[in-house]
Structure 1
């Protein structure tokens, strides 16, 4: 396993991490979750990602119970939570000081830990002043309940505003952002965020490396039964897939698969390794509901060094038609 600094901070996170979105407490059984967590940890992964919204808090409970069961030393892993969607009643949603603090306390109880290493604002909140959220996060840091705070899917302008407010009032600025980043979604990370990486040393823990499974190639024909896109609650993913196919996406995946085979890898491994070639990526969050998936994805590290300039150019040429649908 490789380890990278989280932006300009001193914290080191594994280049590949393991997240619970759409799996813990939902698609995967508790036993499967425990097996995947143990495999990840034994493979060198030290960062485990979660959120209050995942399975309505059940995801954090499952992860917390598993970590407690394994008895991992607290200084050997990094765990995160995110705040925004905590419920449907007033003050259970958003980034008000009340919800930020109460959501943190609830996450600590569910995860069965004394502090969060990373705490993210899951989305920007247009109804709460950014200064209020920054002060709430700084207060939690001063209390030792979180170590670093950051954002997820915020615009560069919003992140810079939070950073500037923190510097103006001698508060703790955001350390990291968690955006979607993959071969099909690139503009925000590579263009909009670029000055944040160079000017303030922002870290990045990216999610959806396989574009909700599209980059596995398993949806090239029909949607398999029991796959994520087979469930009605993921209709938005199905719509994304259809748009992708309409732009010649299947042929592009076939070209990428050929490149991967030449390197001795698979399409998912190539997609993940490509992300790791970007020096601004602190960690790529993997999501797997089976140990076989996780084992295969971890092997992306085996082909990382084969992605030389020539191979990267081949990948760029293959995906160039997708630039028009990168949204």
Structure 2
């Protein structure tokens, strides 16, 4: 079924292509096509990626090209980013010309002649003027929007105050952002996004997306990758949460996903972006989402054991509730 071309109507669950970078796990060659087919067959219609995510754009473009007879371009939305091309702040370029070039490069990698949503990637890494100024990234993105090459313009990043400052500035300018993509700020440990969403709406932002419901793999049995910015105490608490879930016959990733999916009705979230690599992960995410919908409709009760375990998890994480780590980090600033 074709998606709306006059209004962005993302599925409640979006496919996070960052996982295709291989930064979390090595990727088998056959996984992307199988995962994308499963996603599209299950009703997921939005795919998020970035030039920063290794070969993610290439891999996603190839997979969707492979599926074009079953799922033509008109049946899904593509969302990518500009501005971040490496790990440290020196790998950022928010100039208008680089923005225009970057979107053209992304189109080639994704094998498309238009992109639905383009976001300024990790806006906190650059000066405010590089985002909103006369030679800034947003100037380039709104130019491409006027030309019909992209449909929606937005920003992504970690610190919510930085995102809000940009949104408010653009609103006052009479050129509001269409989309805000926040990550790691609506999950078991940090729910700050729910407080900021009304402020984003007041600043004219139409669509709010929440990425990384597992808090960048903090909430999974295998634990977070070595590069995760959480401090040792929070990592230990997350490990205890995972063990607690397992001891009660539950899975920490599923519990974390379901918690984040409830954000849609809790504070009018538009979509949750979850990193997906394999068909089985898509199936697990869809299953958790369906369970939440059934519970919200009243057709299924929340099991008492889930309520109990979530309460215990909340207690374990209470010392770190709404803690946000520094972004960019000292390492990303190139200082260590």
TM range (shorter): 0.7 to 0.9
Partner of 1:253: 242
Note closer, same or farther for the CA distance 1:150–1:201 as it changes in structure 2 (3 Å cut). closer
Query: After the TM superposition, which of the residue ranges 267-276 and 250-259 deviates more from structure 2?
Result: 250-259
Instruction: Output the CA distance in 1 between the equivalents of 2:302 and 2:22.
Output: 41
Note closer, same or farther for the CA distance 1:318–1:34 as it changes in structure 2 (3 Å cut). same
Q: 2:256 aligns with which of 249, 266, 271?
A: 271
Instruction: Output the CA distance in 2 between the equivalents of 1:30 and 1:111.
Output: 17
1:28–1:289 Cα contact (<8 Å) kept: yes
Q: 1:134 aligns with which of 130, 133, 138?
A: 138
Partner of 2:329: none
Please state how far the C-alpha of 1:65 moved relative to its aligned partner.
1.8
Instruction: Output the CA distance in 2 between the equivalents of 1:94 and 1:215.
Output: 32
* Matched residue SS, 1:44: coil
Residues 62-91 of structure 1 show CA distances to partners (whole Å, capped at 9, x for unaligned) of 211221221132221001111122369999
Structure whose residues are more often helix by fraction: 1
Q: Within 5 Å, which residues of 2 pair with 1:199-214?
A: 200-214=204-218
Q: Within 5 Å, which residues of 2 pair with 1:55-134?
A: 55=54, 58-71=55-68, 72-86=71-85, 93-124=92-123, 125-126=126-127, 128=130, 130-131=132-133, 132-134=136-138
* Matched residue SS, 2:119: strand
Partner of 2:29: 30
Instruction: Output the CA distance in 1 between the equivalents of 2:318 and 2:81.
Output: 30
Instruction: Output the CA distance in 2 between the equivalents of 1:137 and 1:154.
Output: 20
Residues 94-149 of structure 1 show CA distances to partners (whole Å, capped at 9, x for unaligned) of 32212211111110111111111111111112161523333222111001111111
Query: After the TM superposition, which of the residue ranges 63-72 and 148-157 deviates more from structure 2?
Result: 148-157
* Matched residue SS, 2:20: coil
2:160–2:193 Cα contact (<8 Å) kept: no
Unaligned runs of 5+ in 1: 220-228
* Matched residue SS, 1:30: coil
Partner of 2:9: 12
- Work out whether 1:319 is the aligned partner of 2:317: no
* Matched residue SS, 1:114: coil
Note closer, same or farther for the CA distance 1:291–1:154 as it changes in structure 2 (3 Å cut). closer
Note closer, same or farther for the CA distance 1:241–1:43 as it changes in structure 2 (3 Å cut). farther
Query: After the TM superposition, which of the residue ranges 91-100 and 147-156 deviates more from structure 2?
Result: 91-100
1:134–1:166 Cα contact (<8 Å) kept: no
Instruction: Output the CA distance in 1 between the equivalents of 2:151 and 2:160.
Output: 22
1:182–1:210 Cα contact (<8 Å) kept: no
Residues 8-67 of structure 1 show CA distances to partners (whole Å, capped at 9, x for unaligned) of x93211111112214246621332111111111111110011101111xx2211211221
* Matched residue SS, 2:151: strand
RMSD across aligned positions (CA): 3.3
Q: 1:159 aligns with which of 140, 146, 163?
A: 163
Q: Within 5 Å, which residues of 2 pair with 1:288-303?
A: 288-303=276-291
Partner of 2:220: 216
2:185–2:210 Cα contact (<8 Å) kept: yes
Query: After the TM superposition, which of the residue ranges 11-20 and 294-303 deviates more from structure 2?
Result: 294-303
Q: Under a length normalisation based on structure 2, what TM-score does the superposition of the two structures give?
A: 0.76
Partner of 2:184: 180
Instruction: Output the CA distance in 2 between the equivalents of 1:90 and 1:160.
Output: 21
1:204–1:281 Cα contact (<8 Å) kept: yes
Residues 135-172 of structure 1 show CA distances to partners (whole Å, capped at 9, x for unaligned) of 22211100111111111115444434433443444435
1:182–1:271 Cα contact (<8 Å) kept: no
2:121–2:157 Cα contact (<8 Å) kept: yes
Query: After the TM superposition, which of the residue ranges 306-315 and 123-132 deviates more from structure 2?
Result: 306-315
* Matched residue SS, 1:212: coil
Query: After the TM superposition, which of the residue ranges 310-319 and 292-301 deviates more from structure 2?
Result: 310-319
> Number of matched residues?
300
Q: Under a length normalisation based on structure 1, what TM-score does the superposition of the two structures give?
A: 0.78
